[in-house]
Structure 1
Amino acid sequence: MMIASPSLPTIRASAVKFRYGDATILDGIDFELMRGKTLSLLGPSGCGKTTLLRLIAGLLAPSEGSLSIGGEIVADAAQNKFLPPEKRNLGMVFQDYALWPHLSVAENVSFPLEMRGGIGKAERETRTLSALQRVGLEAMRDRRPSDLSGGQQQRVAIARALVAEPQIILFDEPLSNLDRELRESMVGELAHLIASLDLTAVYVTHDHSEAMTLADEIAVMRGGQIVQLASPDTLIERPATPEIAEFLRLGTIVDLEWRSSHWYLIGGEEALWPGGPRHSAKAKVLLPLRSVTLREISAGGLPAIVLRSHFRGDAHLVTVQPTNAQGIELQLLSPTRLKPGDMIGVSIDPQSVLWFDGGVPASRSSRTPALEPV
C-alpha cells in the first residue's frame, strides 16, 4: 500500500500530456498535492479536468509525462509503466453516486471490500460500520438508497469511498445532479466532512463557488492546461489573466486609455483619475464588485444608465452602461431596486482596481495610488 509522508506530495504530476487521436486533451500538466489538502480542478466543459481525474484514477494512461501517488510512480509514459486503479489506493465519488438500488446502505458501502477479496465477513462488517459512523449514517445501515435524501445518498457514496481506507478521494462533480438550493446547502456540509475526516481529495467542478468553498488550492484549467494554480484567496486577489477574472466573476474587465494626464474609459469623456500604473497608453483593469458604488451625478458621479437589475438575496446586482462610453458595462450592488432605463451616477474606487500588465496582474503595491474616487 502506498502511503505518502506528510512532508512529501501525495500526488505529483510532471509534464503530463494526453492525446486522443490527433487531438491534445491535456498539454503539459504539473502540480503537487500535499497530504490532507484538497485540490479543485476548475474549468468549463471540455477543458480537460475530468480527463486529468481519470488519469489520476488509473482509468487512462498519459501519452507523455508521469504521475506518482504516495511517492510511487503509478504512470510513466517514457518507462511504459502503468498501475491499474485497484493498485492505487484511491476512493472515488461519482456524479450520480452509482449506488446499487437493490442493496442496503451497508451492502453498498461494503461492496468494494467484497470485490477486493481476502477480507473476512466480520472485518467487512466492522469496517463498513466504521465508515458509516464517520459520515453519520450508522443508524440507516439497513435502508435502501431510495429511502434517503440526495444529501444522505452522497454520504453513502463517500462512506463507500472511505471503507477501504484510501489515501486519496476523487470527486467527479458530485453535486452537479442536485438542484441549486440543495447543492448550495450540501457544498458546505461536504467541505466540513472533508476537513473533519482529514481527507486528501481531488475535486472536479465547473462551479467556482464550490471550488472556493471546498479547496485549499484551485487549478483553473483552460484548453488542456492549468492556467493558474493558487489558493482561493490568491485567485480572488491576484487572478493571473483577465480571462480568469471573468470566469471567476470577480468583477468587470474594462479597457482604459491615457489622455491629458488622466485615465479614461475607452471612448469615454469623463476623466477617472490621474496617475496609476502606466506601461503604455492603454490598460486593461479589473473593477471588483466592491469598487463600483452609487454616487449622485451632482456630487461627481459618472453618469450611467441602468441596463439590468437582478435580486440576489442580500442586494440587487445592477448592470449599468456609462452614458459617454458605449459598449462598456459596469456592475454594482444596490440596496434598492433600480429599473432598466433609470439614469444614475456611479463612483469607481481607484484603490480597489486591479491592473493587468500584458495579461499579468500588478502586485498589491502597484494598485492605483491614493486618489479620490470618481
Structure 2
Amino acid sequence: MSDSTLSGLSQIPEAQPTNPFSAPFTLPTTPSKPRAHGHKRSASILKALSTYTETVTDLYKVTPIPNKGLGVQALSVIPAGTRITSEAPILKCLREPDGIDPFPVYEAFESLKPAAQDEYSLLSASQNQIENALDCIDDDDDLPEGLREWIAKIAAIFECNNFEIGAQSEVQDDGSVMTLAGVFPLAARMNHSCRPNVAQTWNAEINQLTIHAIRDIQPGEELCDAYCLLVEDTATRQTGLDAYGFVCACEVCGGNEEERKKSDEKRRLIKRLGEDLTFQAERKTADGAAKLGPLTSSVVKGGLEDPVNALEYLEVLLKEEGLVGHDLAQWYSFANWHSVSNSLDGSIDWQQKNYDLNVITKGRDHADTIAAKTKLARLKKRKSRK
C-alpha cells in the first residue's frame, strides 16, 4: 500500500543492494511475542524505491502519483466488472491477531528467491509499524548489527500490505486464532480512498487475489482500494488509517466541509441501520427461522421499521456515497440469507442484485457468484411452476 507523504521522484535514492543480510543467519529459537503498543508516534512513511521502474499494461500503469509516492493509474476506460488483474501472493505468513511477530515474517521473506525479495522490499512500510515491530524484538536478542532494523522493516511491510487469504486459520495453544495472510505486489501498490473504485477479493477457486473495477473508470483515474472500514465518519476513518502513516485527502475527506458533514451523516446512518438489521437477524422466531422482524423506532423513522424498507434505504445511501463494492454486496447477500421479502418476486429481485454485484466485484468464477447464480435459478424455477 503506497506512501501518501512522498512528493515525487526527486526523493528516490540511488540504487542500493536490496537485502544487506544475504548470508545465512539463524533466528532466535524463541521469538519475542507481540506486545501492546501506545499511541502512534509518527505519521511519516518509508518507501524503498531504490530500483524503481514504471510498470505498464494495457489497462494500467504503476507510476508516481503526486503527493502519494507510487500508485496505479488507468490507461484506458475500464468498465465496471472488469477483472483488472489476479495475482498470487509473493509472501504468505500466519498473522498474529493483536500485533506483529516479526520473526515468522522474516523467515518467510528469507525463503524467497532474490528477485522476489527485491520486489517485496520495495513496498511501503509506515514508520509507526516499523517502530511497533522494533518494540517486538528484544534488545538482548543476539542479532548482528543492523539486522534488528532490517527484520523490523520486513515485518512492517507485511503489516501494512497483507490481505487475508480465504478463511484459513490456525488455533494456538492459548486459544488465539492466527489467520493466513499474503502480500500481493499490485494490490499493495494501490492507494486508499474512502470512495474506492476497485474491489479486491481472495478467490479460492483459482488461489489468487482478484482486483475488479466496481464502477466505470476513466483514463487517468487512480485505481484505489480501501484500507479501513468505510461506514464510519471522517474522524473515525482517519483513526483507522493512522497505522498507515498518512492523513487521507481523498475526494470524500478532502472535499469542502459542508459536503464532508453530509457524507458523515449518511455513513453514520448506514452504520446504525446495518447494526439494527444485524441485531434483529440474530433474534430467531419461535420455530427457529431467521426471518427478520420490525426494526426499532429509535433507529429508523418514517416506515423504515420494515426491514425491506430499511434495506432499500440502505441501498440508496450506499449508492449515494459511492460504496458500491463489498459494502453494498454484503447487504444484498444479507437480504437473501434472511429472506426479507414476503414475495417470490421480491426474493428474485434481491437475488438478482446479489448475483449481478458478485459478478462485478468477484467475477463469475468465484464461489459466492456461483452459489448466487444457483439460488437465483432455483427461485426462477419455482416461479415458472406457478
TM-score higher than 0.5: no
**Bigger proportion of residues as helix:** 2
For the pair shown, the structure with the greater C-alpha radius of gyration is: 1
TM tier, smaller: under 0.3
TM-score of the two chains, using structure 2 as the length reference: 0.26
Specify which structure has the bigger relative contact order, considering alpha-carbon pairs within 8 angstroms and separated by 6 or more residues: 2
User: TM-score, length-normalised on structure 1?
Assistant: 0.26
- Structure number with higher strand proportion: 1
